[in-house]
């Protein structure tokens, strides 16, 4: 048995040797084909890296500085979020129930309580509308680790009696950090109350819901809304690993299963994907990725099929000769499959290496781009080993598939007819 294995080994080595030399026989054509495959691989990988970088940046901006990975509300809150309803807040018992589950979850890293409300913002000269998140700053900054990066002229902390104003309002109203302002809001029962606050900083806008909200301390919100006891509008949750979103939801199922007095679900959980319209753009990017991969597959399929068909036609007499000498049809199939496979492997390896180099260079150059009103965003493309490997495997498998038909044709040639060919 061992001898048989060794013999098969050296036969395979020789098939490789002959296939490799056959490829070199028409080296210009081989170079052209493998360059085409290389180009396709580079195109796909660089596009994947660029779009991936854009996608990752946008996702992390949305989840790490604004929305968190998950949000828990009283049932019906999200449907009427535009009105910022105060009658759909979570009460103390609900919060206690949810907090207990969150604390015991193995997926949850941190969470933050928010009261969301709308108010009138006045700089003593002009008045405008403002949407606010009332937060416990320590909790919020832990749950949204890059929120601080969005803050401008911020003095480091948000204390009671202070407000972080959306950039769009600070610019429009001509106010800056340190300025006093007045906030006037209606509470749940409709009575109006006001509070004097000092500007602690400005917050840059980002795309998506909540991207234009200001921040105040939860203490001040309770004061102006006259909330006694514990009450919040939403709980923002940060997971240890965003890729475990589905498992986390599964684990938090008891929250969803909790019924209110009317035997209807009491709470709702939304993922950032459901809440952010940017998720649709991400879906589109993914569809584009698939479309580009299909183009690559077509390039590989057509170019290898073309080269292999030509190889068979050019070598009919040679195939007749080796067949006459007694080469079994199976070996002839292997010879041609190996030839196609080598072309694919070569294209995939060179393409992979070139792509990694290009992506590294692009990362060093630090390309900036704009998205909507956000300017100066830095694209930092990167490729994971798995992405390169996946594209490589696709190319190699397609090369093999493209070579099957020509290889079978070669193996089925009638040696008498083949030898007659000039």
Partner 1 sequence: MIEVKNLKKVYKVGELNLTVIHDFSLTIGEGEFISLIGPSGSGKSTVLNMLGCLDTPTSGTLNINNKDISSLNQTELANFRGENIGFIFQSFNLIPVLTVYENIEYPLIMIQNLPENERKIRIENLLKEVGMYDQKDKTPDKISGGQMQRVAIARALVTNPKIVFADEPTANLDSKTAHMIIELLKKIQKEHNTTFIFATHDEKIVSNVDRLITLVDGNITSDERV
Where along the sequence are the contacts to partner 1 (CB under 8 A)? 7, 10-11, 14-15, 18, 21-22, 24-25, 317-318, 320-331, 415-416, 419
- Beta strands 151-152; 267-271: pairing state: unpaired
Across 6-161, the runs of DSSP E, i.e. the strands, are 70-74, 90-91, 108-122, 127-135, 151-152
Q: Which residue's CB is nearer to partner 1, number 7 or number 284?
A: 7
Q: Which residue's CB is nearer to partner 1, number 178 or number 328?
A: 328
Min. distance of Cβ 240 from partner 1 in angstroms?
Answer: 58
Residue 194 DSSP symbol: E
Q: Which residue's CB is nearer to partner 1, number 29 or number 188?
A: 29
Q: Which residue's CB is nearer to partner 1, number 18 or number 354?
A: 18
- Nearest alpha-carbon partner for 196 in 137, 122, 132: 122
3 state SS of 201: strand
Dist CA 97 CA 76 (whole Å): 18
Residue 379 parent element (H or E): strand 374-379
- Nearest alpha-carbon partner for 140 in 126, 154, 124, 157: 157
Min. distance of Cβ 341 from partner 1 in angstroms?
Answer: 17
The b/e string for 40-78 (b: 16+ C-beta within 10 A; e otherwise) is bbbbbbbbbbbbbbbbebbbebbbbbbbbbbbbbbbebb
Min. distance of Cβ 30 from partner 1 in angstroms?
Answer: 13
The answer to whether 304 and 29 are in contact (CB under 8 A) is no
Q: Which residue's CB is nearer to partner 1, number 161 or number 329?
A: 329
Min. distance of Cβ 349 from partner 1 in angstroms?
Answer: 22
Q: Which residue's CB is nearer to partner 1, number 109 or number 318?
A: 318
Find the angle CA(33)-CA(36)-CA(39) to the nearest 5 degrees. Answer: 150
Side-chain-side CA neighbours of residue 93 (13 Å): 3
Q: Which residue's CB is nearer to partner 1, number 112 or number 323?
A: 323
In DSSP notation, 317-356 reads HHHHHHHHHT--HHHHHHHHHHHHHHHHHHHHHHHHHHHH
Min. distance of Cβ 348 from partner 1 in angstroms?
Answer: 24
Min. distance of Cβ 40 from partner 1 in angstroms?
Answer: 28
In DSSP notation, 208-260 reads STTTT-EEEEHHHHHHHHT--S-EESEEEEEES-GGGHHHHHHHTHHHHH-B-
Min. distance of Cβ 338 from partner 1 in angstroms?
Answer: 13
Min. distance of Cβ 57 from partner 1 in angstroms?
Answer: 51
Dist CA 17 CA 12 (whole Å): 9
Q: Which residue's CB is nearer to partner 1, number 139 or number 321?
A: 321
Min. distance of Cβ 351 from partner 1 in angstroms?
Answer: 26
Q: Which residue's CB is nearer to partner 1, number 7 or number 288?
A: 7
Min. distance of Cβ 3 from partner 1 in angstroms?
Answer: 8
3 state SS of 264: coil
Q: Which residue's CB is nearer to partner 1, number 180 or number 328?
A: 328
CB atoms within 10 A of CB 153: 15
Residues near 138 by beta carbon (within 8 Å), at least 6 away in sequence: none
Dist CA 85 CA 72 (whole Å): 15
């Amino acid at each position: 048995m061992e001898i048989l294995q060794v013999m098969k080994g050296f036969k395979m080595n020789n098939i490789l040797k002959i296939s490799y030399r056959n490829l070199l026989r028409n080296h210009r054509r081989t170079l052209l084909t493998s360059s085409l495959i290389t180009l396709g691989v580079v195109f796909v990988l660089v596009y994947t890296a660029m779009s991936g970088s854009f996608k990752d940046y946008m996702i992390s901006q949305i989840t790490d500085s604004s929305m968190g990975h998950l949000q828990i509300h009283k049932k019906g809150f999200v449907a009427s979020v535009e009105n910022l309803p105060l009658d759909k807040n979570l009460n103390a018992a609900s919060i206690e129930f949810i907090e207990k589950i969150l604390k015991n979850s193995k997926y949850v890293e941190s969470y933050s309580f928010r009261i969301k409300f709308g108010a009138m913002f006045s700089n003593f000269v002009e008045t405008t509308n403002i949407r606010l998140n009332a937060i416990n700053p320590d909790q919020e900054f832990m749950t949204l680790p890059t929120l601080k990066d969005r803050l401008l002229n911020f003095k480091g902390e948000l204390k009671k009696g202070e407000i972080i104003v959306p950039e769009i309002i600070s610019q429009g109203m001509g106010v800056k950090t340190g300025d006093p302002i007045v906030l006037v809001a209606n509470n749940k029962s409709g009575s109006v109350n006001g509070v004097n606050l000092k500007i602690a900083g400005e917050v840059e806008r980002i795309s998506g819901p909540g991207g234009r909200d200001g921040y105040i301390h939860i203490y001040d919100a309770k004061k102006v809304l006259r909330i006694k006891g514990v009450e919040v509008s939403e709980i923002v949750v940060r997971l240890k690993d965003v890729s475990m979103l589905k498992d986390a939801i599964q684990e938090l199922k008891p929250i969803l299963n909790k019924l209110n007095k009317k035997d209807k679900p009491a709470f709702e959980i939304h993922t950032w994907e459901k809440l952010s319209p940017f998720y649709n753009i991400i879906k589109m990017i993914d569809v584009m990725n698939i479309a580009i991969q299909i183009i690559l597959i077509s390039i590989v399929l057509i170019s290898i099929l073309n080269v292999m068909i030509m190889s068979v036609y050019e070598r009919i007499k040679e195939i007749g000769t080796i067949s006459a000498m007694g080469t079994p049809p199976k070996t002839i199939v292997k010879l041609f499959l190996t030839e196609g496979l080598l072309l694919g492997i070569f294209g995939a390896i060179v393409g992979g290496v070139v792509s990694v180099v290009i992506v590294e260079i692009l990362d060093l150059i630090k390309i900036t781009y704009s998205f909507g009103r956000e300017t100066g965003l830095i694209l930092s493309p990167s490729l994971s080993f798995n992405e390169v490997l996946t594209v490589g495997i696709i190319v190699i498998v397609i090369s093999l598939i493209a070579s099957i038909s020509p290889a079978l044709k070669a193996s089925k040639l009638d040696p008498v007819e083949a030898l007659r060919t000039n």
